[in-house]
Amino acid sequence: MKSKLFLSIISLLLVASIIGCAQAAPASTKSAKLVVGFAQIGQESGWRDAETASIQFYAGQNLDTIDLKFADAQQQQQNQIKALKSFIEMGVDVIGLAPVVETGWDAVFAEAKEAKIPIILVDRMAKVDESLYATFIGSDFILEGNNAAIEMSRLIGGSGNVVELEGTVGASAANDRKTGFHDELAKNHTGITILASQTGDFTRAKGKEVMESFLKTYEGQINGVYAHNDDMALGAIEAIKEAGLKPGVDIKIVSVDGVRGIFEAMAAGEANVTVECNPLLGPQFFDAAAKLKAGQTVDKWIKSDEGVYRSETAAADLPNRKY
């Protein structure tokens, strides 16, 4: 009898132990680390590579506190949407997104909101209700376009003809850099005519291809090139040289981003101005993500510090460039 009583007591203790473990289990399902899903556009430019490196490097330096889930969308919006859905299923703490284009995000953003996962837009905006994202970290693209127009006017003496190499169709950076440039010219530099605008898709190869077409169509008429990013400008420089002209001299070149390649071109006298758009957003991104996980509020627009750089100082500036 004593033996049976002892076994019964042991059995009851085991059952109680199992129930206690089962009740305690949910507390350990949420990672103590900051779990972030980031959907990058792809690798269309040196600027984009620098942004990716900044985010991955920061996460790599903080492996004890950050778990980064990274997706490369290869310039396809549908790939980014799939990545976001995957992040939602994983139950990440925060989602980071550099949108390929501005529109078409409402449904998946709403899914993230329903799952209580805040979204941080990085360097490009999405046209959605402000309640669907937590913050935007990046530049004032319209101001970049304004500054590019001012610099172009200075370079060509306030009058002449320019061509425009636009970024990816539908991208916020392309839309706003175009708007800023056109608005500034229309208001304050009416002697300048935009002969043609065409997308170069933010790539060097496409920028060269489009510039070759411009040079043939408007032979002898082009005074300046405005490129929505430096990579397209570098492609245009190749096209201008192959046409027997001197880039930066015969045709002035103004672009946006501030990558090392354009500083090298300016130092060589083959480009004139770059309007900086800082890609080193890793620290700001993870700082905002950590605050959001902790339930804190962040500014709706976290701006990055940027400047305007000219060929006159390019050689001195070059050693200080980090991308």
Identify the three-state secondary structure at position 236: helix
- Helix-then-strand count for the chain, H and E: 11, 12
Q: What is the pLDDT of residues 229-282, one digit of tens each?
A: 999 999 999 999 999 999 999 999 999 999 999 999 999 999 999 999 999 999
Q: d(Cα 14, Cα 9) in Å, to the nearest integer?
A: 9
pLDDT higher than threshold 50 for residue 293: yes
Ranges of CATH 3.40.50.2300 domains, the chain: 33-138+280-303, 141-277
Is residue 132 within 8 Å of residue 110, measured between CB atoms? yes
Residue for token pair 């005074």: 223
In this prediction the pTM is: 0.82
Per-residue model confidence as pLDDT tens digits over 181-225: 999 999 999 999 999 999 999 999 999 999 999 999 999 999 999
**Structure tokens, 290:** 């950590």
- The three-point CA angle 44-47-50 to 5° equals 110
Architecture of domain 33-138+280-303: 3-Layer(aba) Sandwich (3.40)
What is the percentage of the chain residues whose pLDDT exceeds 70? 91
Backbone angles phi, psi at 29, to 5 degrees: -75, -25
State how far the Cα of 198 lies from the Cα of 216, in Å rounded to an integer. Answer: 14
> For 168-187, what is the mean pLDDT?
97
Give the strand order in the sheet containing 273-276.
Answer: 192-199, 160-166, 224-227, 252-257, 273-276, 308-310
What does the alpha-carbon distance between residue 28 and residue 294 come to, in Å, rounded to a whole number? 17
| C-alpha to C-alpha distance for 301 and 293, rounded to whole angstroms | 18
In angstroms, the CA 195 to CA 97 distance is: 35
141-277, CATH topology level: Rossmann fold (3.40.50)
